Structure 1
């Protein structure tokens, strides 16, 4: 399973992402608030120092020469007339209060007081406090936040694993019960093993779906049994009646030929019915012991059934037995497979020869028919696919049935274009 697509991985990634976001927001917010509070505190302190000093100056001008403005900062007392001698001119535009200024790659907090007078002349007071060093003080804090981030990330990971195990435990239990289901038609319900939560709802839905499939399988098996019984009875009657008619010594050769055709058709119908029932049940039936089916005899019987068709067009058949081939499979199954392959070869050959070659472990059926394009070859075994649909008759199920029977008995079937215009079908037995 792909780690990124699993629910457990999504829970872990979600916890880690949330922890990362929360820690980052907390760190940024803490540093920002700390910086703001520190700046406000310094501004308030130097403003209070300046206000107290200016109050003393207004009462006693001698204070200017006797006391510094502040012990911690640079303080300047000036007048509007002498301002240009003490401070840069842009300081004159500062309003009373505190300001943050950038000068020479340094940051200052400047407190301004312009509300006092000495000898009826305005006196302005300024205090500058360098706060550039405050950025350096943030480095230990950043290291602390980095360490805290790693700790939070580890805790989030451990918590995510714990939560995912708890959260996914019902799903794992459901998956285990599904894997251990038997092939029995009547399976044990899943819902009673789970609580009335989301997993319980899934279990109920699976139970309902399983019940529908069970009903369908039961109906299908009953239908197959009914079809098997109902079709075998009239076919048995037809075959017994044919045997009775053939025993009549007065029957003519022409009538005997027609009776034989009826007998072959009934036999083919019985074989087809038995084979289709095997496919419906997906049941592989084999001869007991060492009994074998001889495809050579079946092929000759199949060709006898196609004699009326072969008389209507210039098509011949040729059987070449390079080896004596035997197959461990029911005669009905081998007959259905070969009937479809030979029937298609005769059907699509308007003139020429259909070659049937028997080797030690495989049979090749070659025709000189119209053939197909290379792109159509993979589609020949698809249900309802017909070559040249506008001119072709049939349901397109013959080769699909052949493929299913070959899969059931682990045979290999391959159809390819031959050296002529037709096709070559190779059936390999295992």
Structure 2
């Protein structure tokens, strides 16, 4: 039984905690204060009601005790005593009315309240006279105390007033809380309007900086300024890096063009110079993509090219590497008309996938498939890679390594869909360029 109650209370507590987490800050504050205030008022009403009833009984018993004392003094002097209205004395217990005698719980001297089950209220006293005789005094207080009907009506009035007071308090508290939280909502609106752009500025408009809202406002303003400074440093760095990285590439390309002039007299130089030119172009494209990924804002319009054209360019660039590794690249083009994509980004993504397939495939055949808007690479995995296939696609340095990270970043930037499917030792990676 105890265990069942404990489980029930624990379940109620967890449900209440989950419900509380769904409430906003203002709703939590309102609920806490309203609940606390309601409990406080109810307890206050109970205390006042109990104190009122206790005071009333004390007054009746005090009056009865004074009458008993006066009667005892007159009894000793054999004087006649006139009882106040509602008080009757009995010289013997047998003289007490049976309807009242059965509820007298004690015959020892003292003043008590009669435990009558009905709505009538009586107090009684037992006193020993100077001649050692016990007298019984019955005090009927029904005519002087508040009636049950009047008590009910008063309780209804008090409860109605209490309910009205709660509603009035809730309205006032709602207005006060709304004004108190207004600075915080102003901060929230400023953060929303900033929308994360580097050009947005956080305006510090709150005049009180020594309270919680003021400190929060100052912290957000300082944080926004640090972000703006960081973005500015990033712009300067990428600008300098772009110049410093492209300069040696331009020098290499110029030297390669000069060497081409001698290739007519030295035919053996033609093939190495072509490979050098492709490597330099690939390096230039990689620099462009990496700097573009590092920039917060996107500037300029990138050159476009057909998907099939980009795939053919990649196929030509990696044919020598495939031959050296004993692999064969099979191109399957299901549509002559493919959509246009950003040329440099497409070269980086497709080139990384083809390079990884050449490096990790266990079989000689690597299948490249091109449709109107998709490109896919299919090859087999090595046995030791199959056991770590989840890590293979998690962006770690196993398997695809840094190349896969670049592929995922470029796909997110260009809104391309990157997916992979694994069936046994066969893996198929697909890029959907339609977004």
Flag whether TM exceeds 0.5 (same fold): yes
Instruction: State the distance in 2 between where 1:370 and 1:326 align.
Output: 33
Instruction: State the distance in 2 between where 1:318 and 1:277 align.
Output: 32
Give the 3-state SS of the residue equivalent to 1:311 in structure 2: helix
Give the 3-state SS of the residue equivalent to 1:245 in structure 2: helix
User: TM-score when scaled to structure 1?
Assistant: 0.83
Instruction: State yes or no: 1:339 paired with 2:339.
Output: no
Bigger drift between 259-268 and 130-139 goes to 130-139
Kindly indicate whether the alpha-carbon contact (under 8 Å) linking 1:314 and 1:352 is maintained by their aligned counterparts in 2: yes
Instruction: State yes or no: 1:397 paired with 2:381.
Output: no
- Write the mapping of 1:256-335 to structure 2, written as runs, cut at 5 A: 256-282=270-296, 292-335=304-347
Instruction: State the distance in 1 between where 2:50 and 2:20 align.
Output: 41
Aligned residues: 406
**Alignment partner, residue 89 of structure 2:** 75
Instruction: State yes or no: 1:126 paired with 2:136.
Output: yes
Which protein shows a greater Rg?
1
- Write the mapping of 1:121-270 to structure 2, written as runs, cut at 5 A: 121-129=131-139, 136=148, 138-181=151-194, 185=198, 187-196=200-209, 197-249=211-263, 252-270=266-284
* Alignment counterpart, residue 358 of structure 1, candidates 341, 358, 370: 370
| C-alpha deviation, 1:147, in angstroms | 1.0
| C-alpha deviation, 1:40, in angstroms | 0.9
State the superposition RMSD in angstroms. 3.3
**Alignment partner, residue 24 of structure 2:** 6
Instruction: State the distance in 1 between where 2:297 and 2:355 align.
Output: 25
| C-alpha deviation, 1:266, in angstroms | 0.8
> Unaligned stretches of 5+ in structure 1?
388-393
| C-alpha deviation, 1:38, in angstroms | 0.8
Superposed CA offset, 1:274-316 (max 9, x none): 011111125557858xx74134343344334434433344321
Bigger drift between 291-300 and 358-367 goes to 291-300
Higher RCO (CA 8 Å, separation ≥ 6 residues): 1
Superposed CA offset, 1:161-185 (max 9, x none): 1111111111111222222237664
**Alignment partner, residue 39 of structure 1:** 57
| C-alpha deviation, 1:107, in angstroms | 6.4
Distance 1:295 1:3, change over 3 A: closer
Instruction: State the distance in 2 between where 1:181 and 1:191 align.
Output: 13
Instruction: State the distance in 1 between where 2:265 and 2:431 align.
Output: 40
**Alignment partner, residue 67 of structure 2:** 49
Bigger drift between 358-367 and 267-276 goes to 358-367
User: TM-score when scaled to structure 2?
Assistant: 0.82
> Unaligned stretches of 5+ in structure 2?
1-18
Give the 3-state SS of the residue equivalent to 2:380 in structure 1: coil
